[in-house]
Amino acid sequence: VDKNDLENNSKNRNVSRRRRGSRRGGRQAKSGFDLLPPQQVINSDETAAFKLAVLIAQKHKMNTWESSFDDQMNLLRVECSQGVHPVWSRLAREAPLFAELERFEIKEEENILIDSKEWINASNIDPKNNSSLLKWLEMDMPFKLTPAQEISLGKIRKDLAGKPRPSSWPQIMKGKLRGLQEEAALLESILLLSANSDDAINVLESIQDNGKLIKVVEKQMNLNIIRRNENGALVESLTQEGDDELALTIRVESWKRIDDIDQQLSIELLEKGKILLEQHDEKIPSSLLWRISKILFEKEEYDEAITSIEDLSLNNSEEVIFAIKLVSKIYSQKLENSIIDTMKVS
C-alpha cells in the first residue's frame, strides 16, 4: 500500500466528514485564532497577565513545548501576584482554561490624570436643572469609579435622559455612590441635592475645607439653605458674584424671597432684582414692587411709583394709606378703584 495513497484517502475522508457535519449542523468551520508564538509574546511589551494568558493557551494548543517556557511562566506568575487588571479575573471566570488567573489579586487601575479644574468649574450648576446635571454627569470625571459605581451612575444618567425621578436616586446610590471622598463627594452631594435629600448638606460639609472645592461647595450649600427657607445670608445672596448657572440661580432664588428681608435696599438694587426676575419669567413679589414704589414716591417720581403698584391689590391699612398719598399726588383710576374696593370690604 502506497503511503501517499493512504494519506490522500485519509484527507479525503476527513474532508467528507467535515462536509457532512456542515450539512447536518448548518455550521461553517471557523478558522483558528492565531496566537503569538511563545518566544515572541515573552519578548513583547505586553503586560505580564497578557503574556501568561497567551502562554497558557499555547501550552494547551501546541504539540511541542520547551521547558524554558515553563520557567518564563513561573516568572510571570510571580509578577502577576503583585496584582492584575480586573479583566483577567473576569476572563478566568468565563474560560476555565485561564482559571489560575482568578487567584491573583485585582490591581487598582492607574488613574488617568484628568485636570479636575474644568470638571469642578462645570459643577457650578443648579442641581434642580436636569439638562445641566446630565451634561455634567457625561463629562470625564477626575477620579476612577468602580464597575458597580459606573452601573449606578449609568442608571441615574438614563433616568435623567427620560422622565427623571430624582427621589429614586438615593436608593440607586446606596452602597455604591455614598460615603465618597474629595471630588467624588462633590458628585455624591450634587446628586443628593437633586434628589432633595437631607443627607446632601452633611456631604457638602465634609468637603467644605477642600481648597479646590471650597467655592462651589459654599455656593451649593447657600442655594440649598435658601431653597429650604432657612436663615442664611439672604441679603448677600441678592448680589452673588459670578456668571455661572449656580450663581445666577442663587440670585434669582434670593430675590423670590425678598419678603424675608427687612433690611433697607437701594432703588438701584431693587430694580436690578425686578429685571432679573422678569428675564427669567419669575413672578415678581408684590413686596418688591411696593418697596420700589415707596422709594420712587420719596424721590417725587410719582408716575413711576403709580406704575409699580397700580395693578396690585391692597392687603392692609399701611398699603391703603400709601395708595391714598400717592393718588393725591397724581391721579390713577386703577389705584382709586383699588382703594374704594378695599374700603368697602373693610
**Residue at 16 is within a domain:** no
**Residue at 3 is within a domain:** no
Residue 43 cell numbers, joined: 519578548
Nearest to 76 by CA among 107, 121, 41: 41
pLDDT of the residue at 48: 84
d(CA 91, CA 304): 76
**Residue at 7 is within a domain:** no
**Residue at 240 is within a domain:** no
pLDDT of the residue at 113: 58
Count of Cβ atoms closer than 10 Å to residue 256 Cβ: 20
Domain end point (choices 72, 103, 134): 103
Read off the pLDDT of residues 56-95 as tens digits, 9 standing for 90 and up. Answer: 888 888 888 898 999 998 988 888 887 877 777 777 777 7
Q: Where are the beta strands (DSSP E) in 210-345?
A: none
d(CA 326, CA 300): 10
172 in the same domain as 126: yes
d(CA 116, CA 212): 9
336 in the same domain as 311: yes
121 in the same domain as 95: no
| Residue ranges of the chain whose pLDDT lies below 50 | 1-33
pLDDT of the residue at 205: 96
Count of Cβ atoms closer than 10 Å to residue 154 Cβ: 13
138 in the same domain as 44: no
Residue 223 cell numbers, joined: 442655594
185 in the same domain as 130: yes
User: What is the domain extent for residue 60?
Assistant: 35-103
217 in the same domain as 121: yes
- Residues 323/309, Cβ–Cβ less than 8 Å: yes
**Residue at 251 is within a domain:** no
What's the total number of domains in the chain? 3
pLDDT of the residue at 112: 54
- Residues 157/137, Cβ–Cβ less than 8 Å: yes
Read off the pLDDT of residues 155-214 as tens digits, 9 standing for 90 and up. Answer: 999 999 999 999 999 999 999 999 999 999 999 999 999 999 999 999 999 999 999 999
**Residue at 250 is within a domain:** no
120 in the same domain as 44: no
pLDDT of the residue at 148: 85
pLDDT of the residue at 346: 63
